[in-house]
Amino acid sequence: MTAQKTNKEGRIGAQNRARILAAAEQEFALHGYNGTRLQNVADRAQLPKTNILYYFKSKEGLYLAVLEQILTLWNSAFDVATVDDDPALVLANYVAEKMEISRTKPEASKIYALEIINGAPNLSKFYKEQHVDWMDGRVALLQAWIDQGKLSVKDPYYLLFNIWACSQHYADFQAQIAALRGKGMDKQDFSDATKALIHMILSGCGLSVPDKFK
């Protein structure tokens, strides 16, 4: 071997990639995959369109990169909770985390929603299997709490679905929410909505709300 391969990506490259990814996230969230124009992504990133194709092989490649970045957001303390933890605290924290993502990263939530609504054609088999494994583990944990009499729900699946549904709704449907309320949700509104949601979820499980979330 002769000269060692350089890092294959200079500082400029890393910076531009990030710029493009951020711009693409906005555009995909706003217009969906098919509605997004590479030219618009380029304009938003203030780079010529050709550069996007230089860094990402194709529109699909760009989308997959955005999607991959989004999936890392889903990580949570709930992932590693055990049967010895307090269900009320764990669930309340999980809801609060989810709501915080909806507040700070609504674009990510929207892109994910669009992907699922369209039948998840671009989520890798690997991710799907991993997600099923995660779900199995969390359902088992919830079931253990149920068996211990710490949690009162019939089916753990529906509990998780409802948590996701409500928390993501505040990101995905923000246009409707703002229209119906007459104003957008500010930080305080999110705090109130989070408390309301935690109250509802925990009440439904026969748990009382920890002071921290009252």
Partner DNA sequence: ATATAAGTTGACCATCTGGTCTAGTTTTTG
Partner DNA sequence: CAAAAACTAGACCAGATGGTCAACTTATAT
Q: Which residues bind a copy of itself (CB under 8 A)?
A: 29-35, 110, 113-114, 116-120, 128, 131-132, 135, 153-155, 157-159, 161-162, 164-166, 168-170, 172-173, 175-177, 179-182, 192-193, 195-197, 199-201, 203-204
- Give the pair of three-digit tokens for residue 69: 């970045």
User: Does 6 interact with DNA (rule: CB under 7 A)?
Assistant: yes
Smallest distance, DNA to C-beta of residue 51, A: 5
Instruction: Work out whether the CA dihedral 109, 112, 114, 116 comes out positive or negative.
Output: negative
User: Residue 179 has which token pair?
Assistant: 């229209």
Distance in Å, CB of 6 to DNA, minimum: 5
Would you say 51 or 162 has its CB closer to DNA? 51
**Which residue number, 15 or 118, has a Cβ lying nearer to a copy of itself?**
118
Please give the Cα distance from 130 to 24 (Å, whole number). Answer: 26
Structure tokens of 188?
């305080």
How far apart CA 23 and CA 37 sit, in angstroms, is 11
The least distance separating DNA from the CB of residue 213, rounded to whole angstroms, comes to: 44
- Separation of alpha carbons 19 and 10, rounded Å: 14
Binding-site partner at residue 170 among DNA, a copy of itself, none, CB < 5 to 8 Å by type: a copy of itself
Residue 8: what residue type? K
Instruction: Please identify, using beta-carbon distances, which residue of 39 and 75 lies nearer to DNA.
Output: 39
Spacing of C-alpha 30 from chain mean position: 16
Q: Which amino acid is at 119?
A: G
Using the rule CB under 7 A, is 39 a contact of DNA? yes
Is 24 in contact with 63 (CB distance < 8 Å)?
Answer: yes
Residues in 8-37 that interact with DNA by CB under 7 A: 8-14, 16, 36-37
Residue 149 contact partner, candidates a copy of itself, DNA, none, CB within 5 to 8 A by sort of partner? none
d(Cα 72, Cα 90) in Å, to the nearest integer?
Answer: 20
Q: Which two three-digit tokens encode residue 180?
A: 């119906």
Residues that bind DNA (CB under 7 A): 3-14, 16, 36-39, 47-51, 53-54, 57-60
